[in-house]
Amino acid sequence: MRTSFFAALVIAATAASAAPTSGGNAQSGNAGNADGGSVINHGYQISSGWGANRGGNGGISQSGNAIGGNGGFWGGNGGNAKSGNAGNANGGNVINSGAYIHNGPGSNQGGNGGVSHSGDAIGGNGGFYGGNGGNAHSGNAGDANGGSVINHGYGISNGPEANKGGNGGVSQSGNAIGGNGGYYGGNGGNAQSGNAGNANGGSVVNSGSYIHNGPGSNQGGNGGVSKSGNAIGGNAA
């Protein structure tokens, strides 16, 4: 009687350990913005000094990686993975708005764009004895534009280095890699990479009346890098 009881316990434990178990899903959170600060001189006479006005550079906004768990040895699906969206990392603007306006030798320079990068997403593999690979979806990257310089109006005269738009930074979405199907059967996971944002160079705008710029004059910022991540579907068994 006692022997048959223990035998039943062993059979039950073996059956439980051999049951298919799926890997857990993973999702990383969204990252916030990391924009550089702007400089705004609003009005009336306005005259700046030697270093003049410079917008802050954008920082780094990056969401974490998301990696789904693998299915159990006796079978089970791999977990899905989705990384969060990255925020913006724009350079700050410089705005001189109205009346006489005169800036010094260093003059006005928009901040450079920073880095916006969403994390990679990797789906879990299906279990050894069968199971589908997990799906993977990387988040969207934000903008990394260079800051603009805007002199709006009336007298306006800038100095030797004059006005320069900030350079664009890097906007890149993460890679997405679907999990593989189990060794003894299972579909590969789907993969979709997120959208990359803009990485435009900053503009220079002189709007109205007399307007005179110095030797360095006006220079728009260079464009940066906008790149979406790779998307690689998982292999079927």
Instruction: Kindly list the strands in the beta sheet with 94-99, ordered across the sheet, starting from the edge strand earlier in the chain.
Output: 39-44, 94-99, 149-154, 204-209
Mean pLDDT of the chain: 87
Identify the three-state secondary structure at position 204.
Answer: strand
* Per-residue confidence band for 4, with pLDDT thresholds at 50, 70 and 90: low
89 vs 158, residue with greater confidence? 89
What is the identity of the amino acid at 30? N
Give the integer Cα–Cα distance in Å for 22 and 1.
Answer: 37
Distance of alpha carbon 209 from alpha carbon 153, whole angstroms: 6
Which position has the token pair 């990257």?
141
pLDDT band at 44 (very low <50, low <70, confident <90, very high): confident
Q: Shortest CA distance to 58 belongs to which of 149, 173, 146, 163? A: 146
What percent of the chain shows pLDDT beyond 90?
Answer: 60
Q: What is the pLDDT of residues 97-136, one digit of tens each?
A: 878 888 878 888 899 999 999 999 999 999 999 999 999 9
Name the band, by pLDDT with cuts 50, 70 and 90, for residue 165.
Answer: very high
CB atoms closer than 10 angstroms to residue 23 = 26
